[in-house]
Amino acid sequence: MSAYIPSRFLALAICALGCVAAACATPLIWWMLPISLVLAALTGVGLWDLVQEKHAIRRNYPVLAHFRFFFEYIRPEIRQYFIESDTEAMPFSRNQRSIVYQRAKQQLDKRPFGTQNDVYQSGFEWMNHSMSPTRVGSSDFRNLIGATPGGAPKPGVIQPYLASVFNISAMSFGALSANAIMALNEGARRGGFAHDTGEGSISRYHRENGGDLIWEIGSGYFGCRHADGSFSEEHFAHNAALAQVKLIEIKLSQGAKPGHGGVLPGVKVSPEIAEARGVAVGQDCISPSAHSAFSTPIEMMQFIERLRRLSGGKPVGFKLCIGHPWEFFALAKAMLETGITPDFIVVDGKEGGTGAAPVEFTDHVGTPLAEGLQLVHNTLVGLNLRDQVYLGASGKIISAFDIARTMAMGADWCNAARGFMFALGCIQSQSCHTDRCPTGVATQNALRQRALVVPDKAERVYQFHRQTMSALAELVAAAGLTHPREISPDHIVRRVSQHEVRLLSTLAAFVKPGSLLEGRFEQTVFERYWPMARADSFLAAH
């Protein structure tokens, strides 16, 4: 039985006992008066918890939630002496979660008494500042995706999109609750940033508030499929024509489980999910591990051009977690051979992971963001294609420094999934796949998701984005710059040992423009795998 039911029973029991006790508390039974007062107070607390709209935990677990808050209050002392530090990040530290909560709730996000990080520990990173800081007038940093560096639309692109440098990463309706989707989209609408649909396609809840959407299309072609699961031009064109849809993103793989398909059991395929995905109610919803609309790199480039045309000239790109290097090199060679380039590429690090996955995939499959982003950036630079393709990046992006460091490594913008889940009220219970999410974020249980009040959480999503962008502007100004696109690897320093630090530019080994076109392999990965890549096949040439 769900833990949710006993908590409701407890609230009702408290109400009943309070009423009985109050009735019994007469002058003839004077000793019952203190007990009746306590129970009456608990009754009031329980009823208030059920109707208040600020805390999802209290709505789902009346009375009991206050014990959590009490232990949360005394937790720093318990943790400090007996358990762990606030900086242990598995998967996210208390400090990382706290900065999201504070910014989402517009609470004080400053910290006294110096850093809690060991600045002499290997791996510690910082950003160099300037003795002549600038003044940044606006924190509304953007990129015109689908346009050339000069601002003119690329061939075939009629509707370029002016995107924020910080957006909501892919999370599907079905994985997240309806209330969570509505709150995310309303927050995105208020803040003027984009909300990625995830491969579950565009639901009625994505459309309700009108926020900008990145429509992700996975191997199941949800929202643009025939009954047999193959790609449907007609259904695609219908959804792509929605004014909300700003970018089309083909999902090749994701950080949580790259190279792994998925099945949503039929018992979980509700009428709403079926409507969004274009599948039958109550039948298994299958995401194959590979696409059927193309089978070679050249065919994939042609598919990108096909989607661009069918969408009325909207920017089209793809998302992947890097696996075999020669497979991405094959895509790059297909770009050269066809003359077709995606408008953007999103690199998902293996540390990304809102989706549940087998432990082996979570822990040991896929390339982390730093290495994956560097490979993609260097390949495009080496082919003189970097100015034609915008790069997004996702994988444990929480703070403004995370954004700055990632952009220094070559990204044009960043996406966050779990960060925005924290803004919705997620407490990292890691029960996303059980349908028993205690805050109503990752569940389809109607009673549980009632705890997530859309107007309140939409405001938190908006504020988290706004204040993170403000913090990014402060970092940019402190470095003497005017836009985060100016952050270079020379601005980021990493400690590699107790007595040695190195600039990111010396650690990341960036290639020179055009080097691959000239046959100069400046890194081992290119020397070994570039000759193996084929534009006509994802298989390696030996």
* pLDDT per residue as tens digits for the range 453-492: 999 999 999 999 999 999 999 999 999 999 999 999 999 9
- Tokens 């938190």 identify what position? 460
Q: How confident is the model at residue 41 (pLDDT cuts 50, 70, 90)?
A: confident
Where residue 508 falls (left for φ over 0; alpha for ψ -120 to 50; beta otherwise) is alpha
pLDDT at 87: 64
pLDDT tens digits for 270-294? Answer: 899 999 999 999 888 888 889 999 9
CA distance 470 to 479: 14
Dihedral, CA of residue 50, residue 51, residue 54 and residue 59, to nearest 10: 20
Return the H-helix or E-strand segment holding 524.
helix 524-529
**pLDDT band at residue 94 under the 50/70/90 scheme:** confident
pLDDT tens digits, residue range 373-397?
999 999 999 999 999 999 999 999 9
pLDDT band for position 324 (cuts 50, 70, 90): very high
Reported pTM = 0.86
What is the C-alpha separation between 417 and 396, in angstroms, rounded? 8
Burial of 524 (0-12, 13-18, 19+ CB in 10 A): exposed
At residue 345, the pLDDT reads 98
* Structure tokens belonging to residue 514: 């055009």
Task: Give 271: exposed, middle or buried? Use CB within 10 Å, 0-12, 13-18, 19+.
Answer: exposed
Residue with the bigger pLDDT between 116 and 528: it is: 528
Q: What percent of the chain has pLDDT over 70?
A: 89
pLDDT band at 84 (very low <50, low <70, confident <90, very high): low
Please determine, for residue 357, whether its predicted confidence score (pLDDT) is greater than 80: no
pLDDT attached to residue 240: 98
- Residue 157, amino acid: V
How many whole angstroms separate alpha carbon 273 and alpha carbon 365? 29
pLDDT at 176 over 80: yes
Copy the structure tokens of residue 86. 């606030």
Q: Give yes or no for a contact between 441 and 425, defined as CB atoms under 8 angstroms apart.
A: yes
pLDDT of 265 higher than 80: no
On whether the CB atoms of residues 219 and 203 are closer than 8 A, the answer is no
- Provide mean pLDDT across the span 183-191: 98
pLDDT band at 20 (very low <50, low <70, confident <90, very high): low
Region 480-507: mean pLDDT is: 91
Q: What is the structure's pLDDT at 17?
A: 59
Distance of alpha carbon 294 from alpha carbon 279, whole angstroms: 21
**Preceding peptide of 91 cis, ω within 30°:** yes
Q: Which of 73-77, 133-137, 334-338 has the lowest mean pLDDT?
A: 73-77
- Predicted local distance difference test score (pLDDT) of residue 81: 42
Look at residues 358, 353, 299, 407 and name the one whose alpha carbon lies nearest to residue 171. 353
The Cα 479–Cα 29 span in angstroms is: 73
Average pLDDT estimate for 77-103:
72
Which tens digits make up the pLDDT trace of 218-259? 999 999 999 999 999 999 999 999 999 999 999 999 877 777
316 vs 64, residue with greater confidence? 316
Cβ burial of 417 (10 Å; 0-12, 13-18, 19+) is buried
Is the pLDDT at 18 greater than 80? The verdict is no
The predicted model gives 209-217 an average pLDDT of 97
| Range ranked top by mean pLDDT from 44-58, 145-159, 223-237 | 223-237
Token pair of 224, please? 């643009």
Residues contacting residue 405 through CB under 8 Å, at least 6 positions apart: 125, 127, 492, 504
Over residues 414-432, mean pLDDT = 90
